[in-house]
Amino acid sequence: MNNMFRLRILINKDSVVLSKRMKINHVLGYSSMPENLTKATEYTTTYQPIADFYAGKSVFVTGGTGFLGKVYLEKLLYSCKKVDKVYLLVREKKGHNITKRIEDLFANPLFSRLKKTNPEYFKKVVPVSGDITLPNLGLTPKDEQTLIDKVSVVYHAAATVRFNEPLPVAMNINFEGTQKVLELSRRMKNIEAFLYISTAYTQTQRKVLMETVYPPPAKEEDIYKFIEEFGNDAKETEKYLCDHEKPNSYTFTKALAESYIAKNHGDVPAVIIRPSAVVSIKDEPLKSWLDNWFGLTFYFYTAAKGWNRFNLGNSNNSVDLIPVDYVSNFTIIAGARAKSKYNEVQVFNTTSSSVNPVTFGEAHKYFSEDIISRGKNDMPCPALIFVNSKAILNIGAFFCQTIPVHIADMWLKMTGKKPKFVKLAADFTELARMADYFTSKNWQFRADRMRELFDSLSPEDKRIFPCDPTQIDWSEYLRDYGKGVRKYLKPK
What is the DSSP track for 88-149?
EEE--BTTB-HHHHHHHHHTSGGGHHHHHH-GGGGGGEEEEE--TTSGGGG--HHHHHHHHH
Residue-wise pLDDT tens digits, 276-316: 999 999 999 999 999 998 889 988 998 898 888 888 999 99
The pLDDT of residue 383 is 83
Mean pLDDT, 10 residues at a time, the chain of 492 residues: 41 41 41 38 72 98 96 97 97 84 93 90 94 96 98 97 92 98 98 98 95 96 95 90 94 98 96 97 96 89 86 92 98 92 83 96 93 79 86 88 88 90 80 82 94 97 98 97 91 56
The pLDDT of residue 423 is 84
The pLDDT of residue 39 is 38
CB 255 within 8 A of CB 262: no
Give the DSSP H or E segment for 273: strand 270-275
The gap from C-alpha 164 to its chain's centroid, in whole angstroms, comes to: 18
The pLDDT of residue 427 is 77
The pLDDT of residue 253 is 98
Q: How many CB atoms lie within 10 A of CB 56?
A: 10
308 three-state secondary structure? coil
The pLDDT of residue 45 is 60
**Domain topology for 50-285+321-356+443-472:** Rossmann fold (3.40.50)
The pLDDT of residue 343 is 67
Give the DSSP H or E segment for 51: helix 50-54
> 274 Cβ partners below 8 Å, 6+ apart?
198, 199, 200, 202, 209, 211, 347, 348, 349, 350, 351, 445
d(CA 87, CA 122): 11
311 three-state secondary structure? strand
Q: What is the DSSP letter of 216?
A: P
The pLDDT of residue 149 is 98
| CATH 3.40.50.720-classified regions of the chain | 50-285+321-356+443-472
230 three-state secondary structure? helix
* Single pTM value for the model: 0.88
d(CA 366, CA 478): 6
Total number of residues shown for the chain: 492
